Structure 1
Amino acid sequence: MQLIYDMLGNTILMASFWGWLIAQVLKTIIYVIVNKNFNPERLMGDGGMPSSHSATVMALVTSTFYHYGAGTFEFAISGVLALIVMHDAMGVRRQAGKQAVVINNMMDWFKELDKDIPTEQRLKEFVGHTPLQVLFGAILGIIVGAVVSSIG
């Protein structure tokens, strides 16, 4: 039980959690507005606006800065982690999503040709982010990190 209290009392961990949660909820709301339908996978899924990965790591960086300062190893570690995560979201993971679209289209084309391709093996297309999605996720994370750190 003490572990749960310790985790809930960890402002840096809570800032990261709230950054992720708020980004996921916003992502779902934006998806509903743009696509006019609710997709429950958006609540937990990757990709979309804003980047929950960026929001999470920037809330971590911001709250670490608030509690430890810019000259500490804690801040350095969280900052480097954030750069890696956000770069990966825009790079490798975004390219994987683009490839998934092409492969899924090929599977549809093979199905039209009456080839035996199981459609339940479709690839997830929402896995990466555009630079704008990463930017807005980062801004959200900074705001959430600052708010949670000033409250806690």
Structure 2
Amino acid sequence: MRWFLGLLKNVSFMSAFFGFMSAQLLKVIIYKDFRVFGRYGGMPSAHVATTSALAWAVGYTTGFSSPETSIAAIFLAITTADAVGLRRNVDPNKGHTLMEVIYGFLLGWLVAVLTVKFYRI
């Protein structure tokens, strides 16, 4: 139970969580269908929003020259390349367009800014 409370206090983790939830809720609003919640593909990319929110929050909290930020940024780069490149080549219905990925990236950045500024537990 203590580990769970620790995660709730971790601003970077919560930023990633909020990034994922925001992207999924936006999909429901955009597509007007609750069944799209949690599905692969679509606008915005939840994978990219999640890893973008994580990377930005880590950068804001540990400094952009920290090793932790480097790890999170590489994780974001791999996730983005997978979302827009590899996944689309494997199954066009489960990949993302470049715009879906860009919106996911920007959503993640916005969520990180708001989370770092306002989230306190």
Match of 2:106 among 139, 144, 150: 139
Separation (CA, whole Å) in 2 of partners of 1:132 and 1:59 = 17
Match of 1:79 among 60, 73, 77: 73
The unaligned stretches of length 5 or more in structure 2 are none
The alignment yields a C-alpha RMSD, in angstroms, of 1.0
The answer to whether 1:128 aligns with 2:95 is yes
The unaligned stretches of length 5 or more in structure 1 are 33-37, 99-124
Correspondences of 1:1-152 after superposition (within 5 Å): 1-32=1-32, 38=33, 40=35, 42-98=36-92, 125=93, 127-152=94-119
Distance apart, 1:39 and its partner CA: 5.0
Structure 1 counterpart SS, 2:42: coil
Q: TM-score, normalised by structure 2?
A: 0.93
Distance apart, 1:151 and its partner CA: 1.4
Over 4 Å off, 4+ runs: none
Distance apart, 1:48 and its partner CA: 0.2
Q: Deviations over 1:65-92 (max 9, x none)?
A: 1111111100100001101100110011
Distance apart, 1:95 and its partner CA: 1.8
Q: What is the aligned length?
A: 119
Identical amino acids, percent of aligned pairs: 34
Distance apart, 1:31 and its partner CA: 1.3
AA matched with 1:29? I
Separation (CA, whole Å) in 2 of partners of 1:31 and 1:95 = 24
Structure 2 counterpart SS, 1:91: helix
AA matched with 1:22? S
